[in-house]
Structure 1
């Protein structure tokens, strides 16, 4: 008889690696509860799953904030909320600066450039700025344009499609049962509604969240399968980097072993999905952990800085990918 940790990995190998069927919530929870001496085995299996169902290529993306700070929502992890004492204040980026940021992103080899705004949802001014910005970027830079503008109406979804935005990011942030502990100014269901409209429009759906918000391991498993149900094209995995002045400023950083368990578990729940390293990986995992994740199921990275926190220099990530012999996905492969 094999022990219980071996059993879940054996089952996962047959179900996920061989058949391409993601784990259910019960099995994801078993992965998240694996003892420390089994984490490497789980990461190895997750890497095999990634290689079989996604291939060796890594998608590289840069992000820039079109409108920073002054957000009316109370997401407890976010220093861009206008309701907290955190230091970020409202700033708008002009179109030439937006185009230059896209140029710099493309120069790193990235194929994806995401325009982000700290808002509940876009108003007429922001939609006009987006229309002008996307047009200017497409005329100047050979790169895919994505957007993250909060909750949308159907009319706004249609406008973004018309502009040529090919992917929309709207994170659920955490599982449905824990969401009210993190955000009170809107609901999980409102976010889900936007995501359904985006998916139905034909735009690619980018939806993930933040681990280490205070959720239980059971809620982490719940979150993984809720994302799998949505079937997004991409899942950005963030790890909480506690921001001064926010309600979660004293939340401890997630244990790196728990972060690695989660990377493996999310890959085994979503074998065909792009799983992207996003914010907080540097403080949570460091250089060694970043390498472990890329060899444990992650197949995309955000390079450079995040919206309000610093990341590693893009060159470090690109050098690591070259060392691991993981080719950066060409732009033509993402169109």
Structure 2
């Protein structure tokens, strides 16, 4: 069994793909065999992407009062949390945060808004103006995460300068009704397709530790492969008081690392960034996410929770001997 991950890595490097049964077997590995899985994932990452690390940052540009009832989310109007509530911030604040992110070494800066979607008009116009300025005034690549969008909105964002559209599936299709009942999974899938059709790169992943099974973690990865997304953010639940998942069982560091590694083997040539919940769930093993095949991470704060100071993450990368990819501008 110890050699099983290595043989799979050889096959993947030669152009084969991992199937669902093999991926599930990998998630069940323990002890020395799990270490072999991490090594295999690192080999695959190095072969397809090299050893450079991508950093990204976000701004919570519009917070709270979301009509969706996602059971993990502090910003849902269905849950009594202490998440901040405010309308779309002004253009200058978005630009200032983009400059700060670029100064911290991020190659991508995401403008994130709460809510099901964004309507044409004032808010979209403001975001498009900010995108144009970010492209003119910084070297960072702008991204947007505005909920479900149509083709015309996606095209407007691309023409304003957005490089990437971010929209998570959150979990497997088979588990999604346990997490959200206010919209259908297919709406999220269609948003991914719309963004790609408009010429945007797509950043799409999910969150683990919601109560899903190992098979459902694999299921989401296979859906992401089918959708041909460009990058995958992997998040781990940070339970928020007031949400239905406030008392959820903690996902172990080893489960986190095995999930990262299996996603690397299923999606060998795609960027995989470990984002929200890494501090709480990986704890002392945070640096191992790169040994498990991750190619990037989010630095700075998240939407409603704080992250580590960027200098701590830079020190971690220095200690690992990893270099940060420079933004192309």
Q: Aligned pair 1:221/2:218, yes or no? A: yes
When residues 177 and 164 of structure 1 are mapped into structure 2, their CA distance, relative to the original with a 3 A threshold, is same
Q: Tell me the secondary structure at the aligned position of residue 2 of structure 2.
A: helix
Q: Is the 8 A contact 2:9 2:41 kept in 1?
A: no
Q: Aligned pair 1:82/2:45, yes or no? A: no
Superposed CA deviations along residues 66-91 of structure 1, whole A, max 9, x for unmatched, are: 11111111111000111210112421
Out of 305, 315, 327, the residue aligned to residue 319 of structure 1 is: 315
Task: Please report the RMSD computed on the Cα atoms of aligned residues, expressed in angstroms.
Answer: 1.3
Q: Is the 8 A contact 2:203 2:231 kept in 1?
A: yes
TM-score in terms of structure 2 length: 0.96
Superposed CA deviations along residues 159-185 of structure 1, whole A, max 9, x for unmatched, are: 111111010000000001000100100
Q: Aligned pair 1:34/2:15, yes or no? A: no
Q: Tell me the secondary structure at the aligned position of residue 65 of structure 2.
A: coil
Task: Name 1:62's counterpart in structure 2.
Answer: 57
Q: Is the 8 A contact 2:2 2:32 kept in 1?
A: no
Task: Name 1:44's counterpart in structure 2.
Answer: 39
Unaligned runs of 5+ in 1: none
Task: Name 1:190's counterpart in structure 2.
Answer: 187
Superposed CA deviations along residues 50-73 of structure 1, whole A, max 9, x for unmatched, are: 001111111111100111111111
In structure 1, what is the Cα distance between the partners aligned to 2:35 and 2:226?
A: 27
Q: Is the 8 A contact 2:118 2:147 kept in 1?
A: yes
Q: Tell me the secondary structure at the aligned position of residue 318 of structure 2.
A: helix
- Aligned 1:205-220 pairs, distance under 5 A: 205-220=202-217
Give the superposition deviation at 1:125: 2.8
Q: Tell me the secondary structure at the aligned position of residue 243 of structure 2.
A: coil
Unaligned runs of 5+ in 2: none
Give the superposition deviation at 1:257: 1.0
Q: Aligned pair 1:271/2:257, yes or no? A: no
In structure 2, what is the Cα distance between the partners aligned to 1:118 and 1:129?
A: 15
Q: Is the 8 A contact 1:205 1:232 kept in 2?
A: yes
Q: Tell me the secondary structure at the aligned position of residue 331 of structure 1.
A: coil
- Aligned 1:1-335 pairs, distance under 5 A: 5-6=1-2, 8-16=4-12, 18-91=13-86, 92-123=88-119, 124-286=121-283, 288-332=284-328
Give the superposition deviation at 1:135: 2.3
